[in-house]
Every structure is written in structure tokens, then in C-alpha cells.
Amino acid sequence: MLEVRQNHCFYLFNWDEPYEEQSRFFSPEFWREQDRILGSAQGRGTTWFLRTADLFGVNAALRHYYRGGFWGKINKDRYTFTSLERTRSFAEFHLLQRLHQAGLPVPKPLAAKVEKLPLGGYRADILTEKIENAQDLTALLQTQTLSDAAWRQIGGLIRRLHDLQICHTDLNAHNILVQQSGAQEKYWLLDFDKCGQKSGDFWKAQNLVRLKRSFWKETARMGIRFTEENWVMLLQGYGVKSLQA
């Protein structure tokens, strides 16, 4: 892993030898010049999908950090700087690295950038693995149901995360990704911005209740195929019979 400082910018690179122009890896225009943009997705901002398998061994997703809600309309991407390790991109990079090394199905972190701003604060970007042949769980559930085994697999994945004492603060149906390869399905967890370690067990049931609410919300909003029986199977995979809402 490389840690690099150039003027007012700080970088983490998940490789041992530097690449030429690696400081430009966080610019969509750089990848456009190389004819390496595969596509994009719109969320709070634009996530760019990049053809980088020949460089990094995997294709990549490039994301700039944007604020949401009311404050995002006033200050779209500037954050308060307290320490480098607590910046959005460096914190998510290190957490993804920990989970990836523990064998959890999360995108491999490739690189992170923090740009300190002249008048205070910082902006941030992250480059992670692009999960191929995948869609978020809500998209899949709009057209098909999942087997009991699939729901148990999802529950088991969340249990593995919780056993590491990691709280996914935005655990919802959109942050579970389904990767399909023939008849095989693999489930991934996404979007670990502002997530981290928590002690104790009190928060774990609350985390699951949040997930259940998101399934019912998308059942009403998007018409996804989700039932109470599906939830029972997820809890079975997690290793409990029921939760207190």
C-alpha cells in the first residue's frame, strides 16, 4: 500500500509500486481521455464505472463524496477536517480493506483521495472494485422472488458483518448487491461511508429492523416481492428466530 502526499492532496493506493499519473485516477476526464469509461450510475452524485482490469486486476468504480439533505443544497461536497484517518474516503478505504481481508463480499478498495481546501475543510474521492454482472437487490425483486436459501444467505452475510462488530449505518435493500453467474448467485454489501466498529450487541437488532423497514418501504414504493416469510428465512440465516421492533 502506498501513502502519498502531493501539496494539499493526500492519497492511499492499494498497490506497492506507483503508477504514472496515479494522482489523476480520481478524475473522470482522465479516464475519458483513455477511453476507459464503461458507464455511470446516478445517486447522490455520479459513480463512474471504469475499464481497469488490465491495470488493477478488476474494473473500478469512481465516486466523489457529496452531502445529502438540506445541508447538501448549501454545501455540496465540503467536509470539516479533524484528522486524515477520519476523513470520509480514508475511513471507508480502511474499513473496506479490513472487511475484504476478512473474506466478506465487499468491493476491494483501490485508492482514496483527500483534498484539503485553502479556506478549511476537505473534499474526498474513492476508487473501489466494480462488482460485475450485478444489480441491487430491489431491482431483482421487482421481477422475481428469492429462494429460502437465498434469504438465509443474506441473513448469514449480515451476521458475519455483525460478528466483526461492524455497524452498517445505512443497511437497506439498495445496499445489498446480487451478482449472478449462470445459476449461481452471490450477495455483496455496498456503501460503507460513515460506517464503523461498535461495541456491544444492543445495536444489532436495531440494524436489522432498519433493513426490514426498507424492504417494506420498497414493497409499497417499487412493488418488490417481499413477504414476512422471506424475513423469517433471513433471520434464520442470521441465527435468530425473531426481533423486537
Catalytic center residues: 170
Query: Rounded to an integer, what distance in angstroms lies between the CA atom of residue 8 and that of residue 23?
Result: 12
Q: Is 172 within 8 Å of 211 (Cβ atoms)?
A: yes
Which helix (H) or strand (E) segment holds residue 110: the answer is: strand 109-116
Question: Based on the number of CB atoms within 10 Å of its own CB, is 17 exposed (0-12), middle (13-18) or buried (19 or more)?
Answer: exposed
The vertex-176 CA angle with 175 and 179, nearest 5°, equals 130
Q: Are 179 and 140 spatial neighbours (Cβ–Cβ below 8 Å)?
A: no
Residues with Cβ within 8 Å of residue 15, at least 6 apart in sequence = 1, 2, 56
